[in-house]
Amino acid sequence: MLTKTLPFNKQQIEEIIKKYPTPFHIYDEKAIKDNARRLIKAFSWSSGFKEYFAVKANPNPYIVKLLSSMGFGADCSSLPELIIAEKAGISGDNIILTSNNTPAEEFIYAKKLGAILNLDDITHIDYVDKHAGLPEIISFRYNPGPLKGGNAIIGIPEEAKYGLTRDQLFEAYKTVKDRGVKRFGLHAMIASNELNADYFVDTAEILLELISEINKSLHIDFEFVNLGGGFGIPYRPGDKSLDLEYISSKIKEVYDKTVLSCGLKLVKIFMESGRLITGPYGYLVTKAIHKKEIYKDYIGVDSCMADLMRPALYGAYHHITILGKENEKPVKKYDITGSLCENNDKFAIDRMLPKIDIGDILVIHDTGAHGYAMGFNYNGKLKSAELLLKEDGTVKQIRRAETIDDYLATIDFSGL
């Protein structure tokens, strides 16, 4: 069984807390870099392979810049995310705008940055043409509908709001080709937090076969296929990580069978993962401040769902370690709760853990993606700080905690 480990111990965290009080998310720079290298190595057979980090998963420009230094691009889905990518020093076709229901300003800004536009609907061709002018390179998002089963978080493709149908794709590429677009890509994202490796091989096969067909019918060469994100991570101690080397070797087989045997020009393989890239390498560090025994036993911590929504939102499992009690037996059953006036504000329900005392430091694992990013201010809860545990062991604060002034900043009190 895989166990969950930490890149720090109790003593190190106690030192950090002296300067940066709990709660905070802390990201492990070395592990993020090692993981990035592993992904690049797994796809080294594929010339031009690129991962565009899904900024939405961890929209901190320090993290985005760190990933850019490893050769990654940025996948953005809003204007602020485009600006974060820009601030991190990323530009041109190292940015993809994969958005949906997109307002004109975003297309205009993305085009100004030279980003690749990944369009979500056939009507967006005219919309982009009117507001920003069509760029040289365009990609479309494919929704395979009944041709593909779905998975739990993203749902079945037929019910999903994203992408173009198969027939629309042929029409869309023809339209943009006729209007002078020169370079083409195809995108799909049909999974979320998926741990079945074959799912991604299937996606690659669907896309690569489709571009062969579109190539035959419209005589256009594709520069890339984008497999999307959705690569899962092992949140539970027993989960197995995705075998990237296996996925890559299977995709190579599909590539040889489609692109090479059809005589297509080189097609680059892109990914736009978030969770896979940073998810396992972030930790929410929080302190036990209350202990309550009623019909159940509760431990109240100084963090809440403002800092990590996944358990409340999806019933997601996040592993919890009590610092200094790593080797103690799980003898007590607890609900670990935040302070929101919502009964689902719990990081864990009926979790067997070592006996917890007030003042204990709890580390909630796997918060490096869709953790801080998803938080909100409901109930006047302020979002935590973000720290980077650097390769040399030092710690840098990469975002301070929110203050009450931040929370009130959008109100003009002079009108009261």
Binding status of residue 32 toward ligand PLP by CB under 6 A = no
Q: CB atoms < 10 A from the CB of 210, how many?
A: 20
369 is a contact residue toward ligand PLP (CB under 6 A):
yes
**348 vs 369, beta carbon nearer ligand PLP:** 369
CA–CA separation, 405 vs 394, rounded Å? Answer: 29
Q: 């076709």: which residue's tokens?
A: 93
* Tokens linked to 33: 């870099």
Instruction: Estimate to the nearest angstrom the gap between the alpha carbon of 118 and the chain centroid.
Output: 17
- Check if 341 is active-site: yes
Q: Reduce the DSSP state of residue 259 to 3 states and report it.
A: helix
- Exactly one of 25, 50, 56, 287 binds ligand PLP (CB under 6 A); that residue is 56
Query: Which residues have C-beta within 8 Å of that of residue 86, sequence separation ≥ 6?
Result: 95, 113
Q: Which is nearer to ligand PLP, 313 or 358 (CB)?
A: 313
Min dist CB 272 to ligand PLP, Å, is 4
Task: Classify residue 131 by burial, with Cβ atoms within 10 Å: 0-12, 13-18, 19+.
Answer: middle
Residue 411, classified by CB atoms within 10 Å of its CB into exposed (0-12), middle (13-18) or buried (19+), is exposed
Q: Which of 76, 262, 304, 341 is catalytic?
A: 341
Asked if 228 interacts with ligand PLP (CB under 6 A), we say yes
Site for ligand PLP in 307-336 (CB under 6 A): none
Please, which residue, 193 or 212, has the CB nearer to ligand PLP?
Answer: 193
Site residue total, ligand PLP (CB under 6 A): 18
The residue (of 62 and 162) whose beta carbon lies closer to ligand PLP is 162
Q: Which stretch binds ligand PLP (CB under 6 A): 27-35, 132-140, 176-184, 223-231?
A: 223-231
Q: Which two tokens stand for residue 326?
A: 């790593």
Q: How far is the CB of 273 from ligand PLP (least distance, A)?
A: 4
Judged by DSSP in three states, 383 sits in coil
Among 28, 75, 366, 386, binds ligand PLP (CB under 6 A): 75
> Per CB under 6 A, does 229 bind ligand PLP?
yes
234 part of the interface to ligand PLP, by CB under 6 A: no
Contact 223, 267 (CB under 8 A): yes
- What is the rounded CA–CA span in Å between residue 218 and residue 174? 7
Stretch that binds ligand PLP, among 36-44, 163-171, 228-236, 317-325 (CB under 6 A): 228-236
Q: What is the CA angle 308-309-312, rounded to 5? A: 125
Closest CB 46 distance from ligand PLP, rounded Å: 19
Rounded Cα gap, residues 167 and 376, in angstroms: 39
- Taking a C-beta distance cutoff of 8 angstroms, is the pair 338, 364 a contact? no
Q: Name the minimum Å distance from CB 72 to ligand PLP.
A: 13
Q: Is 98 in the site for ligand PLP (CB under 6 A)?
A: yes
**Nearer of residues 226 and 286 to ligand PLP, judged by Cβ:** 226
Choice between 83 and 374, CB closer to ligand PLP: 374
User: Contact letters (x/-) for ligand PLP, 170-209, by CB under 6 A?
Assistant: -------------------x--xx----------------
Q: Among residue numbers 264 through 283, which ones bind ligand PLP (CB under 6 A)?
A: 272-276
Neighbours of 261 (CB within 10 A): 10
Specify the amino acid at residue 299: I
Assess contact for 81 and 97: CB atoms under 8 A.
no
Full DSSP string of 4-66: ---SS-HHHHHHHHHHSPSSEEEEEHHHHHHHHHHHHHHTTTSTT-EEEEEGGG---HHHHHH
Helix (H, G, I), strand (E, B) or coil at 386: strand
Q: Is 106 in the site for ligand PLP (CB under 6 A)?
A: no
CB of 142 to ligand PLP, least distance (A): 12
Q: Which stretch binds ligand PLP (CB under 6 A): 29-37, 49-57, 87-95, 357-365?
A: 49-57
CB of 57 or CB of 299, closer to ligand PLP? 57
Task: Identify the residue among 73, 163, 230, 280 touching ligand PLP (CB under 6 A).
Answer: 230
By CB under 6 A, name the binding residues for ligand PLP. Answer: 54, 56-57, 75, 98, 189, 192-193, 228-231, 272-276, 369
Q: Which residues are catalytic?
A: 341
